[in-house]
Structure 1
Amino acid sequence: MRPKASRLLPVGVAAMLATLVAVFYYPVGSVLSSAIYAGGRLTVDPLVAVLGDPFYTGAAHSLVTDPASVPGGVVGWIDAGMPRVEFGLFGFTAYQALLSTVVSVAVGLPGAYLLARFEFPGRAFLRSVTILPFVMPSILVAVGFLAMFGYTGVVNDLLGLVGLGPLELVGTLKVIILAHAFYNAPLVTRLVTAAWESVDTRRVETARTLGASPLQAFRDVTLPQLVPAVLTSAVLTFIFTFMSFPIVLALGGLELATVEVWLFSRVQNLALAEAATLGAIETALSLGLIYVYLRFEATQISAHGEGRTRARTPLFVGWRSLVDPRRVGLLAYSLVAGVLFVGPLASLVIESLTTPDGAFTLDYYAFLIAQQASAAVGTVQPLAAITNSLLFGVGALLLALPMGVLVSVVATRESRGSRLAEALLTAPLAVSGIVLGLGMLRTLVFGTTAFGHRLTITGPVVIVAVHAVAAYPFVTRNVTPALSGIDDRLVDAARSLGASRSTALVDIELPLIVPALVAGAAFAFAISIGEFDSTVLLAEGVDSATMPVALERYTANRSLGPNLGPATAMGTVLLAVTIVSFVFIDRAGRRWER
């Protein structure tokens, strides 16, 4: 039995690589190859067609179409007083990502200071909700901002009570940046809090003893240890916002389209060749950004110290708190942050229960029930969407858990090929859902020929596969630290008694990582429930529509006018299912652990 067990890990890795080849590398490879292969030959014509189009690259298109004119063009631009330059779709995508990153960091840093330096009731809860970006469906957040800032939203209702307004933010870059900050500021807070708490206070005390002021000690000792975390979170935020799709689609539409939104539009218009080339360019850019992120992350890890940490001080110390500028500032920040983070979700629920006149109603939920009985073509039945989401989530979970654990095992092994295998197994992190969905359409959905047979995979099978690919990296992110923290002596003792490496894994290591495994399962299920980017391309008609897809279709249904009631009702259902599912898996895992 032991020889077979010793081959279990290599066989598992081989099976996972084969699965990824079928449902990830081959589909994504078909998209990437379209940028350099057309008409049966290698060519750069597709790349030149996109990069040389001013719509995509603005003034930079001359670098492709007429490089010799660039120096003269720069001189002419300077002579003209350096007027505003258009950088096209890619430039706008990077611009909105940069603004979103700046705002997210600005909102997240005070939160990190608050959590790292002060103790107060509810601190543990606030720190735990910084995982919000990873479990909250992005289309749900977008509808929440519509419910809050829309023409008939909560903010305009409140402004109307005092004779002000209306405030028109929907369809502007401002609301997109705010929605991105909702998603990414908690991520900044989480990463920087961990770095701030790891600062060795003995070095700070030494600087103070040598005459440094508190500000000088912060600048010379604390700040250098925080910079890697700030840069890491900023790069990660830029990546997320550069590839943002549902938020921009719902709040900005094609008028404020980013690369992802325009790529989706090209697929809808069946301009698949142009969409594939655009997706290939975006993937190349995202791979570069991921590389930069991994370098910054490695810097952050190396910057963490193991010294004595500083004890947190109470936030509330009687009447003195009312005159302390720091505490007053943090209180004001807490109020603003509370509106930003709680407001959209609260507005979602409020709008689903009130009419435009402010009266209580259950009509929007009745509308969903009526849709359930409707036989009209194109009607998304809410119960079917809920059922599909739950079934797809279970299927994705069953696949993502063993895949994530396998990657974690490979990542923690010290061998010559482990780093290469880890890189190959974590590649899905660098590819957007739209690109993966487009690749699946071009290959498995439309059909591909293998060994003389035409293979076609559609419906729930392809959606579950895509969800599992999107979810398993989050299992890995939870399991790898726990697996790395296991005392090697336990495994060595088991190996010395004759256990194989795989037997030690099953009998010793896996039982010790149950909490991380359960956390990974909760993340994987929540990721599947909220996955929208690839699902909106792969869902066939209404039979395989999920809750996020149904939510987007209710939001885009112009026959309902400006009334977001049905969409907010569907969003409230999605919010409830996401929270209940996440809490259920987490609580079940805790009981199993005990």
Structure 2
Amino acid sequence: MISSPSFRSIAGFTVKQALLSTFLAMIVGFPAAVHYARSNGRLSRLLGITTYIPFFFPSISMAIGFLAVYGRNGLFNNLMSFAGLERVQILYSLGAVLLGHVFYNAPIVILVLGNALRSLPTDVLESSKIDGSGRIRRLLRVELPLVTPAIINSALLIFTYCFTSFAVVLVLGGAQFATLEVSIYMNFRLLAAPQNAVVLAAVQFAFIMVFGLLISLSEKSSPFEHGEQYLEKNRLTGIYSWIFVLFEWIPILGALFSSFYDWTRKEFIFERITKLFTEKIVLLGTGLVNTLVNSITLSFLAAVVTVTIAFFLSWQARHTSRGSRYLRIVSLIALSVTPSILAVSYLTAFGSFPVPLLLVLLYIVISLPVALNYISGQVIGAELAFLEAAQLDGASKLARVWYMIIPFFRSTIIYAATVVFAISMGEFGGSLILGSKDFPTFAVAIYRLNGSRYLLEARFLSSALGIIIISVVAISRWFAQRPERSSRSTP
């Protein structure tokens, strides 16, 4: 299969769209990253919240949001028609795929590059300013060379996410723009060619391992201590950043607002949304409430198990000289396995296992790197001298764990569990392959509703799911950053 023209076409398109998406996302996100680094006002905080989108906003919610805003009968074309202009076809094209990837990945530039620029020492920037360097010259000659690793790291991250993209390509582009990830799903579920899916999964795994190694090599801690932030107002980057925030949030909020009103029938649909939760939907094989409860239960179980594993590994790494290196290897292996690859592997090796069990295992593996990265950062460097004192006083190991270690890392555990729960609730690609007709997850249920006569209801559910997940993660993050005791530094 690897030597076939169809494979070369799919692999070539996968690389092509990932390169184009990465370039555009870097360009679009760069001015906003600069503004985020040099300001600390309301807009800067909004940009910070926007960085949650690539990691926590469900991909299916994003795709349906784009359908609601940029579709043939979406908000954008309705405004065009109202202004007397012709409607334009945006979706189901390469441009739609690129637009979706820019939306989803440009905030990564703010997160990685923006924070790197923030960490630059003020004395270096002030010295450059005193020497007569203007803003642009200082940015190009001083700041960007100092944060080159962050630029490379953000580009590699975005390329990897675009290379393995599933929902954006499947929903916004369609089957004619199949990537390796989409082809794995199509061969396994639609074309009844599991052997081809396994080959594609193996090839993609090899690619991602290489990307993961490159990302790992590019991840260098900043040589500068995080001191006082260098502030500098810039009206142009401020205006651009407001436009950027609108670009990011309109598909999210627009889909929610448009879901309450049927523009074709000129009527509100509150009653139709209510019926979703009170009637059994043949398309789903069960009621929507059961689907929601099942997804919450599986996501909760995955969060408990994943955080337990991550904390145990981090605690062991704390007492090992090469612990951080071992954790990085574990994270790299887990990151190299996409949900589609995992789903195909599970069904091939454990096809007789219950679907809920396979889904929980899927969620654990895909969220473990994130949980490990956060928990290990808090555990390995923590000052825990009081544990030695408690041990000398005769406290048992169980007592030290239950009454000291867990309370001390309470906010860390809660935040990590919330993140895992959010990732699990929004996971789509692997769940679509694993899920049976009678056991769809909430994200898969939204996708099925969107492909039927429940289009507006799917918009409402997808937007509500995305907003709730981001809100819960943001609140949990705020809780985790609160100082719990004077003897402990904020995580």
Identity among equivalent positions (%) equals 26
Give the SS at the match of 1:348.
helix
Partner of 2:488: none
In 1, distance between residues paired with 2:150 and 2:475?
32
Quick one: which amino acid aligns to residue 305 of structure 1? F
Structure 1 residue 426: deviation in Å?
5.1
In 2, distance between residues paired with 1:264 and 1:256?
13
- Are 2:225 and 1:306 equivalent residues in the alignment? yes
- Are 2:407 and 1:511 equivalent residues in the alignment? yes
In 1, distance between residues paired with 2:330 and 2:5?
35
Give 1:26-175 correspondences, 5 Å limit. 49-50=1-2, 52-57=3-8, 88-175=9-96
Question: Is this contact kept in 2: 1:248–1:258, CA < 8 A?
Answer: yes
Structure 1 residue 285: deviation in Å?
0.3
- Are 2:237 and 1:341 equivalent residues in the alignment? no
Question: Is this contact kept in 2: 1:369–1:382, CA < 8 A?
Answer: no
Question: Alpha carbons of 1:183 and 1:255: their partners in 2 closer, same or farther (altered >3 Å)?
Answer: same
Partner of 1:555: 450
Question: Is this contact kept in 2: 1:475–1:517, CA < 8 A?
Answer: no
In 2, distance between residues paired with 1:442 and 1:311?
54
In 2, distance between residues paired with 1:584 and 1:209?
41
Question: Is this contact kept in 2: 1:368–1:570, CA < 8 A?
Answer: no
Structure 1 residue 425: deviation in Å?
5.7
- Are 2:440 and 1:545 equivalent residues in the alignment? yes
Partner of 2:287: 381
In 2, distance between residues paired with 1:506 and 1:219?
52
In 1, distance between residues paired with 2:204 and 2:422?
26
Question: Alpha carbons of 1:504 and 1:373: their partners in 2 closer, same or farther (altered >3 Å)?
Answer: closer
2:461 to 547, 551, 570: 570
Partner of 1:198: 119
Structure 1 residue 135: deviation in Å?
1.3
Give the SS at the match of 1:119.
coil
In 1, distance between residues paired with 2:147 and 2:399?
41
- For these two proteins, the number of residue pairs brought into alignment is 484
Structure 1 residue 475: deviation in Å?
1.7
Structure 1 residue 91: deviation in Å?
1.2
Structure 1 residue 408: deviation in Å?
2.5
Q: Unaligned 5+ residue runs, structure 2?
A: 486-491
Question: Is this contact kept in 2: 1:478–1:519, CA < 8 A?
Answer: no
Structure 1 residue 97: deviation in Å?
0.8
Partner of 1:432: 338
- Normalising by structure 1, what TM-score? 0.75
Structure 1 residue 406: deviation in Å?
2.2
Question: Is this contact kept in 2: 1:202–1:308, CA < 8 A?
Answer: no
Structure 1 residue 337: deviation in Å?
1.1
1:535 to 404, 423, 431: 431
Quick one: which amino acid aligns to residue 330 of structure 1? T
Question: Is this contact kept in 1: 2:54–2:108, CA < 8 A?
Answer: yes
Structure 1 residue 590: deviation in Å?
8.3
Question: Is this contact kept in 1: 2:116–2:147, CA < 8 A?
Answer: yes
Larger mean CA deviation between 126-135 and 490-499 belongs to: 490-499
- Are 2:382 and 1:486 equivalent residues in the alignment? yes
Give 1:109-508 correspondences, 5 Å limit. 109-209=30-130, 212=133, 214-268=135-189, 269-298=191-220, 301=221, 303-306=222-225, 308-313=227-232, 315=233, 326-327=234-235, 329-357=236-264, 359-362=266-269, 366=272, 369=275, 372-374=278-280, 376=282, 379=285, 381-415=287-321, 419-420=325-326, 422-424=328-330, 427-445=333-351, 456-487=352-383, 489=385
Give the SS at the match of 1:287.
helix
In 1, distance between residues paired with 2:401 and 2:279?
51
Structure 1 residue 96: deviation in Å?
0.7
- Normalising by structure 2, what TM-score? 0.89
In 1, distance between residues paired with 2:348 and 2:364?
19
In 2, distance between residues paired with 1:588 and 1:175?
37
Question: Alpha carbons of 1:210 and 1:373: their partners in 2 closer, same or farther (altered >3 Å)?
Answer: closer
Quick one: which amino acid aligns to residue 432 of structure 2? V
Question: Alpha carbons of 1:125 and 1:214: their partners in 2 closer, same or farther (altered >3 Å)?
Answer: closer
Say which one has the larger Rg. 1
